[in-house]
Structure 1
Amino acid sequence: MIHEISAVAFRQNLGEMLNQVQYRHDSILIKKDGKPVAALIDARLFERIRRMPARFDALCHRIETAYAAVPEAEGLAEIDAAVAETRAGR
C-alpha cells in the first residue's frame, strides 16, 4: 500500500514510517507543499528497480538482434498494424 505524508509529518514519524516500510512492505510518498518530492520504499523493491535498466537494455538488444534482418519500413508497418488491431478490439 502507498501512503502519502507531508515532509514535516514524515520527519516527526520517521521511526514509524521505517517500520511500515520494513515490516509491512508499504511505500511512503513524501510531499512538500502538496507536491511529491521523494518516496521511501522497501529495500527489496529498490533492488528490483535498480536492476530494471540493465534488464531493459538486454531485452532491447535481444529484440534488435532478432529483427536485424527485417527492413525498417516493414517493421514499422507491422507495429502500425498491431496497434490498429488492438485499438479496433476495444
Structure 2
Amino acid sequence: MGRATGTDRCAPDGWRDRPDRDWRGCFIGGNAVVLPGTRIGDGTIVAAGARVSGAVPGDCIVAGNPARVVRRGVNVGRFGRLPVTDVQRRLLDTLHSA
C-alpha cells in the first residue's frame, strides 16, 4: 500500500490536513505518495511510485511524478484487475490447451 502524507495537526476549522480518504474501489500502488488535499475519484488506480496532488478523475489510471492520467475509462475489477481483452483471452486459451 502507498503512504498518505500529511500532518496530525488540526487546521483552524477542525479538519485534519490529510488527503480525502473516501476512495471507493481505488488502488494505490506501493511507494505512491498522496499529498494532503488530494481528491481521488472512485475506481482510480494510482501506479507505484506516483506522486499525486490536486483532483484526480474517477475510472482512470494515473502514474508519474507528478502523476498524470495515462488511461481513462478503466473498468476496475475485483482486486484492481483490469478486464481481459478478447485477444488476451484467445492467447491464454491457446497456451492452456497446448
Q: TM-score range by the shorter chain?
A: under 0.3
More helix by share: 1
More strand by share: 2
TM-score computed with the length of structure 1 as normaliser:
0.25
TM-score computed with the length of structure 2 as normaliser:
0.23
Q: Which has the larger radius of gyration?
A: 1
